[in-house]
Structure 1
C-alpha cells in the first residue's frame, strides 16, 4: 500500500479535501480563523495520526495475546514552546486502557504503543520535499 494522499483546496476558505482511493475526509480551520469548521485542523489531524497509530498498534498486540481489553482511549494534546534558538513541540498522549489486565500487561501494551510507526517517524529527522508541477 502506497503512502500517498491527494490534498486539494478550492475557493472556499479553508475547507480542504484529503483523498486516498475511494476514501476521503475534510480538514478545515475554525470559524474564528476564517475557516468553515467542517473538519479537523491540520494540527488535530497530526495528533489524530499519532493517537490512532498508537491505538491500532496496541490493539494488534492485545488481539495477538488474546487479552480482554474493552477499550483504549488516548487523549492527545500538543504545546509549542519557542525560544531564541528553536521551537519545540511537545505532544502528550494520556492513555487509558479498560480491561482485565495486571500491571505487567498494562505496561507491555504501553511499551508496544510507544513503537507505533507514526511516532517512530516523528521522532527521527524528517525531510519534506515540495515540487511545483507545471500544469501547462
Structure 2
C-alpha cells in the first residue's frame, strides 16, 4: 500500500506532500490565489502518468540492453462534459530517441502502456475519505 502525507497550513494554497524523507510542493497559480510554488494537483496527476510510463519504458530498455538516449512524454488532458457524466481524456505523446528499430520502439511503447499508474487509472477507482477527530487521536496517544 502506498501512503503519502499531504499537509496545508494557512498559506493559500501551498501544500507539502511527504513520503518518508522526501518532500514536494503542490500549489495553485497566482491567478487562482496560490503562490505558484509547485505544480497544481491536476499537473501532478499528469506528471504521475508520464513519469510512470517513462520509468517503465526505461526499465524495459535497460533490461533488454537497448540503446535509448532519451524518452520524452508530453502529457495533456481534456475534460468533456455531458448531461450524464464527465469524461477526462489523457493524451500521451511519446518520443523515444536512440539506436532502435521501429519494432523495438513499438515494444517499448507497448510496455509503457502497462505501467502501474496507467493501469490504476483505466480501472475502476474508489476513493474513501474519513474525517478523523484530531482531539480524539491526541487523547488516545
Whole-angstrom CA distance in 1 between matches of 2:125 and 2:33: 30
Separation of aligned partners in 1, 2:91 and 2:121? 13
Distance 1:25 1:53 in 2: 17
**For 1:65 and 1:9, how far apart are their aligned partners in 2?**
43
CA RMSD of aligned residues (A): 0.5
Matches within 5 A, 1:35-46: 35-46=34-45
> Structure 2: any 5+ residue segments left out of the alignment?
136-141
* SS of equivalent to 1:40: coil
Post-superposition CA distance 1:63-90 (Å, at most 9, x none): 0000001000000100000010110000
Give unmatched runs, 5+ long, in structure 1: none
Structure ID, larger Rg: 2
Structure 1, residues 81-132: CA drift from partner, whole Å, max 9, x if none?
0010110000000000000111100000000000000000000000000000
Partner of 2:139: none
Helix, strand or coil at the partner of 2:73 = strand
- Point out 4+ residue stretches in structure 1 off by more than 4 angstroms: none
